[in-house]
Amino acid sequence: MTLLQEHSDDSQAEQEVVVLCNPDGAPRGTALKAEVHTTQTPLHRAFSCYIFDEDAHLLLTRRAVGKKTWPGVWTNSVCGHPSPGESDEEAIYRRLAEELGASANAHPHPVLPFFSYEAVDASGIMEREFCPVYRLDIQRQQLGLDPNPDEVAQILWVPFDKVVRTATFIPELLSPWMVEQLSQWPDTV
C-alpha cells in the first residue's frame, strides 16, 4: 500500500457517516462516525450478524487490537453501521467484504430486529446503538475468508452451544453486545 492509499483509507474512515436514530430505530439525522463514539455517544443505527456454517458452527471474530472500542475482544461474525439510505442487508454484505474479505449469496434473516444496548469500554467510550441482529447461514467453503487485519485479529468456528455457554459463564471473553444478544437469542432460531 502506498502512502497515498494509506491517506485515502484514513480519510475515508474519518468521513464515514452513521445514522442517528430515535429509540425505535427511526432515523433522525446523521453524524460522522469519528465524532459519534465518545463518552456521550448518541443513539445510532448499527447491526450485528452471526454467520453459521452447515454444521451449526458460529464464525467468531476477534476484534483487531487497533480498534477504538473493545480492541482484541471476541465477538460475533460481523457488525457495523448502515450508511444513510443503505439497508441492513446491504450493510451486512459491505462489512462482510470490508472485515472478512468475503461475500455470501445467502440472505441474512432477522433474529432480534429491535435489539438495542448501551455499554462503556474500559477507555470510557460509550456504545449506544439500535442494533438489529441477523443470522446468515452459509456453506463454509463458499465464504472465501480473507480477514482485514485492521478489523479482525483472528477468526474461529465454534459450536454455537459452546459460545452460549461462554457468554453465560465467562462473559468477559466476549463483547458486551454479543453477551446481551445471546441472552435474548430465541430458542427457535
Residue 35 lies in a domain: yes
Could you list the residues known to form a binding site, using ranges.
37, 44, 81, 99, 127, 129
Distance CA 36, CA 20 (A): 9
Q: Exposure of 83 by Cβ count < 10 A (0-12 exposed, 13-18 middle, 19+ buried)?
A: middle
Residue 8 lies in a domain: no
Could you list the residues known to form a binding site for Mn(2+), using ranges.
37, 44, 81, 127, 129
**Residues designated catalytic:** 79, 129
pLDDT tens digits for range 50-63 = 999 999 999 999 99
Distance CA 118, CA 45 (A): 12
pLDDT tens digits for range 73-117 = 999 999 999 999 999 999 999 999 999 999 988 999 999 999 999
Could you list the residues known to form a binding site for Mg(2+), using ranges.
99
pLDDT at 14 over 70: no
Rg (CA), the chain: 16
Residue 90 lies in a domain: yes
User: What share of residues in the chain are helix, strand, coil (percent, to 5)?
Assistant: 30, 30, 40
Domain that includes residue 48, residue range: 17-184
Residue 67 lies in a domain: yes
Give the type of residue at 22.
Answer: N
Residue 94, domain CATH: 3.90.79.10
Residue 4 lies in a domain: no
pTM, 2 dp: 0.90
Residue 171 lies in a domain: yes
Structural domains in the chain (count): 1
Residue 3 lies in a domain: no
pLDDT at 48 over 80: yes
